[in-house]
Structure 1
């Protein structure tokens, strides 16, 4: 064995060891949380790292019946609606920035992308006052507007970076055949952007599903609270059933984990074909 092949073998061993350690660090908390959802309080505090004695789904049923089902429905509604609105608005904005000859186009691009520098926490107080004055506080519309407004700059940035490299000759040929802007966008450009659109959809879902700050500040009623905020209601001052809390956390995490497992290759492909160019 030559020296170079020996060094290559050692490097592969270190890489696989690192990846294995990383997988344990990521997967073990999820496994531990899932297993503790099958225990009782006594089992959990007696030995939190032991296997459950009784593999019963009672804690998961309790979490579901104590409000997790309603919080899950709200999260799905907010996530799906804000994702559709954000991606469509961002795609249309990116199309205008890359295909239309807009006056002060570079300045307009800078203004839109400047939204990436605005920290949500800085705008909390004025946003609360504005939403209260408009009657939107503690409503579904508040979360929809906030999640859309604060994600449009980032999503526009990703889609614009992908559209820049698309051939403009296709749009020009369609225009010569009588297609308007909207037809070119909807039937030609948008289908060619499928990889980056899938990536932005998945990234927005991951953000919205786990977002806590806006959901906590702008909602206070049980009918409009999302999962991250609603799970805190399972905690009681007079004694918390922590296995029920863990069960609720597993229910909340399961859709996102499955979505990421099935969609990670689309995220990588979309970002590599777009921003990575």
Structure 2
């Protein structure tokens, strides 16, 4: 065996070992969380790494009945609505920045992208006072506005980077055929931008589904509490049923995991073609 062939084998073994270790690091905590949702408190503290003696769904049922169903519904409502509004506004803004000759177009793009530097924590107190004065505090609209406003700059940046290299001949052909700007955007540019649209949808879903600060501050004590905030109510000062907590965490993570695996091909393609440009 040649020296180069030996190095190739060693390299492949190293890469596969690294990937296997990465799978263990990422997957095992998830499996451990799922497994402990089937245990009792006694089993969990007695041997946290052993398989459950009795694979009972009781903890999952208790978690669902103790409010997780309501928190899940609130998270779905906020996530879906904010994703639709954010992606639509960002795609329309990106189309304007790449396809329409605007006065001070560069400054406009810089102003929008400058929103990436705005830290939500810095604006927290003024936002609370503003929403209280507007009567939107502790409402669904507070989270919808916040999740949309703070994600538009980043989402616009990604979609704009993808749209820049789309062929302009399609716009000219649509204009020759009498299509309006809106028709060209909706019927041509948006379908051509499908990979990056799916990517930003997944990114926004991950953000809004897991966001804690705004959800805690702006929906405290209301029926609009989302999963990250609502799951903390499963913890008790006088004794926590940890299998119920783990079961709630599994229920909260399952929709996002399923969505990612369904759309991962478009997600990787969209980010590689968008950020890489």
1:93-145 Cα deviation digits (max 9, x unpaired): 00000011000000000000011111111111111111111111110000000
**Structure 1 CA distance for aligned equivalents of residues 256 and 174 of structure 2:** 39
1:37-56 equivalent positions in 2, closer than 5 A: 37-56=37-56
Give the SS at the match of 1:115. helix
1:210-234 Cα deviation digits (max 9, x unpaired): 1111111111134100001000011
4+ runs deviating over 3 angstroms: none
Query: What is the CA-CA distance between 1:167 and the residue it aligns to?
Result: 1.0
Pair 1:275-2:275 in alignment: yes
**Structure 2 CA distance for aligned equivalents of residues 256 and 273 of structure 1:** 23
Give the SS at the match of 2:179. coil
Query: What is the CA-CA distance between 1:51 and the residue it aligns to?
Result: 1.1
Pair 1:27-2:27 in alignment: yes
Greater CA drift, 113-122 or 55-64:
113-122
- Counterpart of 2:203? 203
**Structure 2 CA distance for aligned equivalents of residues 193 and 38 of structure 1:** 43
What's the TM-score, normalizing by structure 2? 0.98
- Counterpart of 1:159? 159
- Counterpart of 1:107? 107
- Counterpart of 2:128? 128
Pair 1:150-2:150 in alignment: yes
Q: Is the 8 A contact 2:138 2:222 kept in 1?
A: no
- Counterpart of 1:260? 260
**Structure 1 CA distance for aligned equivalents of residues 124 and 8 of structure 2:** 52
1:165-200 Cα deviation digits (max 9, x unpaired): 011111112112221111111111111111111111
Give the SS at the match of 1:136. coil
The total of aligned residue pairs comes to 277
1:145-181 Cα deviation digits (max 9, x unpaired): 0100011001100100010001111111211222111
- Counterpart of 1:224? 224
Q: Is the 8 A contact 1:131 1:142 kept in 2?
A: yes
- Unaligned runs of at least 5 residues, structure 2: none
What's the TM-score, normalizing by structure 1? 0.98
**Structure 1 CA distance for aligned equivalents of residues 257 and 199 of structure 2:** 15
Root-mean-square deviation (Å): 0.9
**Structure 1 CA distance for aligned equivalents of residues 28 and 195 of structure 2:** 31
**Structure 2 CA distance for aligned equivalents of residues 217 and 7 of structure 1:** 56
- Counterpart of 1:18? 18
Q: Is the 8 A contact 1:67 1:230 kept in 2?
A: yes
